[in-house]
Structure 1
Amino acid sequence: MVRSLVDLLSQHAAHHPDRTAYRYLVTGDCDGEIQEMTYGRLATRSRAVAAWLQERGLAGSRAMLLYPPGLEFIQGYLGCLAAGVVAVPGVPPQGRAQNHRALTRMKRLIADADAKVILGGREVITALSTMAEHLPELADVTCVATEDIPDEAAASWREPELTADSVAFLQYTSGSTSAPRGVVVTHGNLLDNERVITERMGHTPDVIAEYGHEMFVSWLPVYHDMGLIGPVLNTIHLGVTATLFSPLHFLQRPERWLTAISRYRPHTSGGPNFAYELCLKHATPRLLDELDLSSWKVAFNGAEPVRAATLRRFADTFAPAGFRREALYPCYGLAEATLMVTGSTVHTPPTLLAAPETGPHAGQSDAAAVSSGRPGPDVTVAIADPERAEELPDGETGEIWVRGASVAKGYWRNALATRETFRATLTGHEGRFLRTGDLGFLRDGELFVTGRLKDLIVIDGRNHYPQDLELTAEMAHPALRPGCTAAFSVEAGDEGAGGEQAVLVAEIAPDAASEAEKIIDVVRSGIGDAHGVSVRDVVLVRPGTIPKTSSGKIQRRASRAAYLDGTLAAI
């Protein structure tokens, strides 16, 4: 019986040790340097890392993973699983502006997870040793570059006693910089979600054989749930081959993604909506002539709102290169459900509903609502009235609640948040539900995601809590009145095709009005440095004019409506 991905890796290494598990495009280009790793080699390297961890008595403790893009992360991650160590994927500090942000987040994650060891690439570990004065947290943490662990260590690896309830890793949600929440994902959660992905994306044995095991191309960050649980771990689950490259190389030249799909002809590849928009901006006639996208059967689109306009334009633009509308694959998931909850039907174009049919906000937008598909097997999705905890009828918008074996154990060492989010009960249903905080409705068994219950801002696939942006703005300049700032997102571009952009509205003292331009520049710069977000608009308003509740809480939605209506009391 398969208890974990460790068992599956052992099986693949025994049955086809020479098959390529991963190839890595070092420069992002198909004609540049390429690194390949077979299943046999992957098993050896992950066991060597596991043995090193076991010899130091680290089973059950947490290991922070800090790697640059590449194959070393996968070896380190699987090494943790093979040692019974809880992996904690993180973002290594790099670059000056990024450095401060990544460093702050890394400190918080080390403290919250109580990490005992850091596994990383050689350059990262060397860099950490020079940061000792800024990182007192590292005093009791062992740091090792996994390249320096010899292959011979694999011989002393002992198979860990894993069960479905054993914790595999902590997936820290990317939303809040101030209060990171680690989602506790078990080996059982992982296996179940790989089963859901496999079924919803049509990764059948026949399809795998038809594709000669070439199933994935991905540039997605591997420390993020979509990049890790999807392309990287579904590869291990199936015993297939994935082609990977760095997200930075994709952002520099988005056409690299499409070129890799054209060259390696995988079945499945995808990303957030913004990735498709970036490709559209770089779609030259010459590129279209060079591409063959006819093998691409699942072009998944998730992690941020899926735009009907983007789907239409992508299908139309890349049709001459063999891309078929039926390959468009909107899906929905979240870290708290390991990853995937719903997915489209393979070989079927996405279901779109005209705005008048989408519920209480009918007629407010000319964009269609996009179906995120159907729940995976044995996954229950219900639409609930969040106040009454009662199920709503088909077509009515409410909070999306989820139940199934993929739903994670809870939040790491946060009993209150776990109870509020993972232990909801729904009238007329048995068992506990996960409250997603997302809004949507069901129609004919398909899920349409329409918004968020909380005011989360999603830009380029990354989550930002508005209160974090507001706090940064207020700390950036003393003229901003504390607790009198509202951050929210608005759609950019025609028909919302450009994704979301952040807007900030802030009250300032009347005597600071003469410095308005300077204040706006300082606020923009502060938010850019702290969060990596380019703010579309900073609006300074008169004191006492930002809408608040009776208890004094900022009403972000009302502020957003006033901004869109042009009724803010701007200075």
Structure 2
Amino acid sequence: MHIAATPTEHALPFRAGDFATLTEALDYASGGDTGFNFYTGRGHIYAMLSFATLREEATTLARQLLSLGLSRGDRVALVAETDPHFVRFFYACQYAGLIPVALPASVKLGGHETYVAQLRRLLEASDAAVAVASEGYLGFLSEAAEDHGLLRVDTPDAFYALPVDADMPLPDVAPGDIAYLQYTSGSTRFPRGVIIRHETAMANLQGIIQHGLSINGSDRLMSWLPFYHDMGLVGFVLTPVAAQISVDYLDTREFAMRPRQWLKMMTQSKATISFAPSFGYDLCARRVRESDLAAYDLSHWRAAGIGAEMIRPRTLEFFAEMLAPCGFDRRAFVACYGMAECTLGVSFSPLQSGYTTHHIDSDHLADHHEAVLMDPGESDGRGRHFVNCGVPLPSFEVEIRDVDGNALPDWKSGVIHLRGPSVMSGYYNLPEETAEALCGDGWLNTGDIGYLADGVLTITGRKKDLIIIHGRNIWPQDLEHLAETLPEVRVGDALAFSAPDHEGEEMCVLVVQCRDTDPNRRHSLVRRLTAMLRQELGLDCYVRLVPVHSLPRTSSGKLSRAKARLDFIAEHDADELGAVAEELRLRVASA
């Protein structure tokens, strides 16, 4: 049966996200004929869900969920595959006064136990009452839910088959109600659920629509980002509803296997806005062949957003040069900064101006926490290009602070602090972590490092200790804990961090104190650690053994990942890092 995609042009008067709640936004969008469109990896549409149909089905499902005896504020865990089921359940929760929790839909080869353990921790952390997954994921979810006393763990179809009382009143939804919990894509062992209220989400959506991207009724979105990530959920599930515009989806796994399909779909739908982390642009451009170029038309792509990890100018240049013959305009790049704790977007570079960089003396920045511009022609190894992430949305106050909490002037580097209506209420059921992140006066300590210059925000470092490899956030504690499960490794013997390899790309490093001097047993330890990290976390990691008492510590006696990282970088020149990268490749191949 032929399925037609929802249109781009439509007659419903455009509203730029000026709604009080997510349900009010869908109520309005349902008056038009735009909506969600889902595509196979071959580029064929297999499902269409207009906003009108979504509202009807979501309100029916809301009553079915409430028929289970759920109470207002109960959590509903959803394995977030890129399909219509997730969208229905997410909005059904909004109408029912329930709180959806998006669970990752990602099982790596050989990672059954790891994935089940991750789901189990998320179910525990959110104290979910109900959990939903497709047939393909139900086994994992059921295993994770054992002994947790959930009311029901089942497939979407099983919930659709529940009896429905059409006269059952739905609760009033207030701006201060919790809309959803966003579990940050970092630690699987210590998950943190960001509390996002309706008013919080709508403040950010309005800022993105009006100021960040200047969305209008003629725009169309296209995305392959996962729904369980804040950029995928807020940027490409909530934004189209709040702006009444259509969106086309390609499953994340399909993109990974066929990255050129992104360009084919942009050509086919004439989408105007699409986002990706750096690695997505790189992967796509590297798969494009010269013979493909004539088939693409990217002239409609006016906002090519880039964020979620440190932005690499070389990647953007490569993509722009490769696809210029297809009508891609490098001025479409929109460098952004955001985080789940702020719902999503914080700053956006100016539209139709491309990205800009500062060529900074990296030695001076490290030693004096000050960004000093260098002549781009200088090539003595000290200079580094940082991509500017634009101007913060008008609703945000931004301060750069030193270690003592003092606000710093322009060009001084420090910790980025934010305040505004898009900032989270806290972490769910984690008062200590909430108190650490949120000051009493409403300021959020992002943990990210950067500086301001003439109102423009530039990021120079990531959240403390967080490892980001190809857009994937990894908490070092997870690697260290796995290492400590081996009998040769004691608690406190391991430190994990990322470091640039010989090509400037981040690689994962695990430094382990080893008491054994026998070469064969040391080799066995490295081999087992390498294999375990790949099997349990799907991660290629360089394992280095060091003598006891050699891991660096802070002045207060705590192990210092930051110092270990700096020491590793200082000890290896470019040639040595190339050898390290090759050694890692061989270790992984033999693991």
TM-score, scaled relative to structure 2: 0.87
Conserved in 2, the CA contact under 8 Å of 1:66 and 1:92?
A: yes
Where 2:88 maps in the other structure, the secondary structure is: helix
Counterpart Cα distance in 2 of 1:449 and 1:218? 25
Within-5 A mapping of 1:219-368: 219-356=224-361, 360-361=365-366, 365-368=382-385
Q: Distance in 2 between matches of 1:326 and 1:138?
A: 51
Secondary structure of the structure 2 residue equivalent to 1:354: strand
**Partners of 2:439 and 2:518 in 1: CA distance:** 48
Q: 2:222 touches 2:273 (CA, 8 Å); kept in 1?
A: yes
Q: Distance in 2 between matches of 1:154 and 1:20?
A: 28
What is residue 484 of structure 2 aligned with on the other side?
A: 474
Which residue in the other structure is 1:11 paired with?
A: 28
Equivalent runs, 1:40-439 vs 2, <5 Å:
40-58=52-70, 59-92=72-105, 94=107, 97-125=110-138, 128-129=141-142, 131=143, 135-148=145-158, 149-150=160-161, 153=164, 155-156=166-167, 158-205=169-216, 208-209=217-218, 211=219, 215-356=220-361, 360-361=365-366, 365-385=382-402, 387-423=403-439, 431-439=441-449
Tell me the CA shift for residue 160 of structure 1. Answer: 2.4
Determine the C-alpha separation between the residues in 2 that align with 1:456 and 1:127.
Answer: 27
> Following TM superposition, by how much is the alpha carbon of 1:157 offset from its aligned partner in structure 2, in angstroms?
5.5
Deviations 1:464-489 (A, max 9, x none): 121221121232x3233431222111
Aligned partners of 2:495, 2:518: CA distance in 1, in Å? 19
Cα distance in 1 for residues equivalent to 2:165 and 2:205: 27
Contact kept in structure 1, 2:240 and 2:247, CA below 8 Å: yes
Inter-partner Cα distance in structure 2 for 1:359 and 1:378: 33
**Secondary structure of the residue that 1:483 maps to in structure 2?**
coil
TM-aligned CA deviation for residue 546 of structure 1? 2.2
Q: 1:567 to 1:438 in 2, by over 3 A?
A: same
How far the C-alpha of 1:551 sits from its partner, in A, is 4.2
How far residue 240 of structure 1 moved from its aligned partner, in angstroms, is 0.8
For the residue of structure 2 that corresponds to 1:390, the secondary structure is coil
On the 8 A contact 2:23/2:173 being kept in 1, the answer is no
Alignment check: 8 A CA contact 2:131 2:150 kept: no
Matched ranges for 1:444-455 at <5 A: 444-452=454-462, 454-455=464-465
Residue 428 of structure 1: aligned partner = none
Task: Identify the residue that residue 22 of structure 1 maps to in structure 2.
Answer: 36
Structure 2 distance, partners of 1:449, 1:202, is: 20
CA distance in 2, matches of 1:108, 1:313: 40
State the secondary structure of the residue aligned to 1:103: helix
| 1:93 and 1:103 in contact (8 A); partners too | no
Per the alignment, in what secondary structure is the counterpart of residue 139 of structure 1?
A: coil
**1:37 has 2:49 as partner:** yes
> For 2:173, what is the secondary structure of its paired residue?
coil
- Partner of 1:391, secondary structure, is coil
Q: Name the SS for the 1:52 alignment partner.
A: helix
- Indicate if the aligned counterparts of 2:59 and 2:92 stay in contact, CA closer than 8 A: yes
Task: Supply the distance in 2 between the matched residues of 1:258 and 1:489 (Cα, whole angstroms).
Answer: 31
Distance 1:118 1:512 in 2: 50
CA apart distance, 1:177: 1.9
SS in 2 for 1:76: helix
Matched, 1:458 2:468: yes
Task: Determine the C-alpha separation between the residues in 1 that align with 2:339 and 2:412.
Answer: 22
Tell me the amino acid that sits aligned with residue 389 of structure 2.
S
- Compute the displacement of 1:375 (Å): 0.7
Please, which moves more after superposition, 145-154 or 404-413? Answer: 145-154
**1:142 Cα deviation after fit:** 1.4
Letter in 2 for 1:174: S
Distance 1:71 1:364, change over 3 A: farther
For residues 354 and 192 of structure 1, the distance between their equivalents in structure 2, rounded to whole angstroms, comes to: 34
Deviation at 1:71, TM superposition (A): 1.5
Structure 2 counterpart of 1:427 = none
Say whether the 8 Å CA contact 1:481–1:506 is kept in structure 2: no
Superimposed CA distance per residue, residues 487-511 of structure 1 (whole angstroms, 9 cap, x where no aligned partner): 11122463x3x4x220111111133
1:438 maps to a residue whose letter is D
Mapped contact 1:341–1:376 kept (Cα < 8 A): yes
Q: Summarize deviations over 1:387-414 as a string: whole Å, max 9, x none.
A: 3221100010000111110001001111
Q: 1:527 — aligned with what?
A: 533
Per the alignment, residue 518 of structure 1 pairs with 524
Contact 1:20 1:36 in 2 (8 A): no
Which deviates the most, 433-442 or 445-454?
445-454
- The RMSD of aligned alpha carbons is 2.3
The residue number in structure 1 matching 2:545 is 540
Question: In structure 1, what is the equivalent of residue 510 of structure 2?
Answer: 504
Change (3 A) 1:157 1:328: farther
The two structures have a TM-score, normalised by structure 1, of 0.90
Residues 418-471 of structure 1 show CA distances to partners (whole Å, capped at 9, x for unaligned) of 1121125xxxxxx42110000000011111000035111011222212122112
CA distance in 2, matches of 1:93, 1:504: 24
Kindly indicate whether the alpha-carbon contact (under 8 Å) linking 1:294 and 1:322 is maintained by their aligned counterparts in 2. Answer: yes
Q: What secondary structure does 1:522 align onto?
A: helix
Q: Distance in 1 between matches of 2:413 and 2:277?
A: 23
What runs of 5+ residues in structure 1 fail to find an aligned partner?
Answer: 425-430
Q: Distance in 2 between matches of 1:157 and 1:258?
A: 46
5+ residue gaps in structure 2?
Answer: 1-17, 367-371, 373-379, 574-579, 581-591
**Does the C-alpha gap of structure 1 residues 229 and 306 become closer, same or farther in structure 2, counting only changes over 3 Å?**
same
The SS at the match of 1:463 is strand
Aligned-partner Cα distance in 2 for 1:93–1:270 = 20
Checking the alignment, whether the CA contact within 8 Å between 1:502 and 1:534 is kept in structure 2 is yes
Shift of 1:313: 1.8
The answer to whether the Cα contact below 8 Å between 2:223 and 2:247 also exists between their aligned partners in 1 is yes
Q: Deviations over 1:66-99 (max 9, x none)?
A: 2433121111111111111011111247465332
Answer with 90-99 or 307-316: which moved more.
90-99
Give the counterpart letter for 1:311 in structure 2: L
Distance across 2 between alignment mates of 1:8 and 1:545: 57
**Larger CA deviation: 501-510 vs 230-239:** 501-510
Partner Cα distance (1:33, 1:370) in 2: 36
Q: Is the 8 A contact 1:92 1:102 kept in 2?
A: no
Aligned 8 A contact 1:46 1:76 in 2 = yes
